[in-house]
Chain A
């Protein structure tokens, strides 16, 4: 298996633009997580899905952020409009079930100018 695949690896955009981050989880995994990592706040859980259904989105910072999982093999995290404070590394992770290890993607480094 190729692991969790995220794209793009790097994204540089201007304030106000729409940004879409993509994730392909490991086949057979029931859970998908989106995390944001910054120096100031560490790793923050934004949202997670179980069987393609959003379970907890309490970590989504505001309405500018949205996430979807239209099928078991694909998820997106969208920021519209983007702001400089959204600059961070965004990780997608998946796992089979509770208690099992999370498999992380390599992350998307987002820079909003």
Chain B
């Protein structure tokens, strides 16, 4: 089974400042990793995903994440945030093979961007 830990439940940041949202995962098999964003009163949308290849993954809205296998981490970063980035961010993991194709989500990190 896979699990995801998002250590920060809330991250306040000023507009135009950099931000990092942390994600660690646990799995006995190789995994796919994802970051999703949820705006108020909406479903989740994919920001980016890591399947294989380059460990630095670029997503939409200027976000990027780096897969670190030795530290079992997949932290999300943005060099300069905007007010519109205020949302809930979820890290998720799924196994590569077998019937374990379900996606397991972390508990989410609320990013609050202020002026």
Contacts and interface: CB of A to CB of B under 8 A. Distances in A.
Contacts, number: 54
Interface string B28-49: 0000101010000111111001
Given A48-B101, A102-B36, 7 more contacts: A45-B103, A45-B104, A102-B46, A104-B43, A104-B44, A105-B43, A106-B41
Nearest to A56: B102
A102 B41 CA distance: 17
A71 interface: no
Interface of B: 32, 34, 36, 41-46, 49, 51, 90, 94, 96, 99, 101-108
Contact of B105 (A31, A42, A98): A42
User: Chain A, interface size: which category?
Assistant: 20 to 34
A92 to B, nearest CB: 9
Contacts of A104: 43-45
B93 to A, nearest CB: 12
Contacts of B44: 43, 91, 93, 102, 104
A99 B94 contact: yes
A103 B41 CA distance: 15
Q: Pick from B43, B96, B103 the residue with the most CB of A within 10 Å.
A: B43
A102 B99 contact: no
Contact of B43 (A50, A56, A93): A93
A42 B111 CA distance: 16
By CB atoms of chain B within 10 A, which of A98, A99, A101, A107 has the most?
A: A98
A12 interface: no
A55 B99 contact: yes
A110 interface: no
A102 B108 contact: no
